[in-house]
A and B are shown apart, each in its own frame.
Chain A
């Protein structure tokens, strides 16, 4: 059974940092292209960024609102995806989901609240 489990969310002040993790199991993570998608309270879905598999070049791409502040990485030895978030803004408040690029599999999400 495919499982994606996010962790690391919480309350952080504007300008602060947070690192999210997504532990994957039940599929060959090494070959998977992975994405982060977020959802602000009461709002729709917004793509944050993606990372290709290392065999496909490992390219990382970001949505414009987070480019230069967020960093996606992966540790294939731990089957884990990461999202390092720096210079956080109040508008980054959202539930952050880890998903395969095909969107066939989603985690439960982790809530990030940016507030003073």
Chain B
């Protein structure tokens, strides 16, 4: 199985400041169809996960543009340009390039 490793595991950020989360996969996430199936999910406290970003950098419907994704191959980054209080929660990267889908450990974003 592909192992997904996130850093940091915890990120205290002042309101209005940027946040960045890294995700590294143990193998390339480039699928045979040419797409790279790396997604980012947000889980607010007490809520189910919610898709933010798919295929590295595509924002899902309704996701604010302060969220952006980048990367290639095995190294990926989620950035929040200016953290708001509603961004508090745990963020997961997830790969769908190779069966089975696997998730990173999660990064807790909190307000400093």
Residues of chain A whose beta carbon lies under 8 Å from any beta carbon of chain B: 35, 37, 44-47, 50, 61, 63, 97, 101-104, 106-109
Contacts and interface: CB of A to CB of B under 8 A. Distances in A.
A63 B48 CA distance: 21
A108 B48 contact: yes
User: For B50, B51, B102, which residue has the most chain A Cβ atoms within 10 angstroms?
Assistant: B51
Nearest to A108: B48
Contacts of A35: 101
Nearest to B4: A44
Interface residues of B, number: 20
B99 A103 contact: no
A47 B103 contact: yes
Q: Which of A44, A50, A101, A103 has the most CB of B within 10 A?
A: A103
A103 B48 contact: no
Contact of B100 (A44, A63, A106, A108): A63
A109 B101 contact: no
A35 B96 CA distance: 12
Given A103-B39, A104-B60, A46 B50 contact: no
A47 B105 CA distance: 13
Given A97-B48, A97-B49, A109-B48, A102 B103 contact: no
A97 B101 CA distance: 14
B106 interface: yes
A47 B101 contact: yes
B88 interface: no
Contacts of B103: 44-47
B29 to A, nearest CB: 14
